[in-house]
Amino acid sequence: MSTKVEQRTYEDALSWLRDHGFDLIEAPGTQGRVFLKKYTCSAAIQKDGEEGVKIFAYPGYLIGGEISKLINRGYQQFLKTAKTEVPATADHLKSLQQFTEELKEALGLPSLYNESLGTVSESYHYDRVQDRDKPAAARPKRPWEVTKLKPASTKSRA
pLDDT digit string, tens, across residues 42-93: 988 888 777 778 888 888 899 988 888 888 877 788 888 888 989 989 899 8
The pLDDT of residue 1 is: 42
pLDDT, tens digit, 9 for 90 and up, residues 110-126: 776 555 555 555 555 55
Percent pLDDT > 90 in the chain is 4
Which candidate, 119, 121, 115, 117, places its Cα nearest to that of 72? Answer: 121
Please say whether the beta carbons of 45 and 53 come within 8 A. Answer: yes
Question: Is-above-0.75 flag for pTM?
Answer: no
Half-sphere exposure of 8 (CA within 13 A, CB side): 19
Classify the C-alpha dihedral 124-101-82-89 as positive or negative: negative
Provide the CB-side half-sphere exposure for 89 (13 A, CA): 2
Say how many C-beta atoms besides its own lie within 10 A of residue 79's C-beta: 22
- The Cα–Cα gap between 40 and 99 comes to 9
20: pLDDT strictly greater than 80: yes
Sequence-distant (≥ 6) Cβ neighbours of residue 21 within 8 angstroms: 38
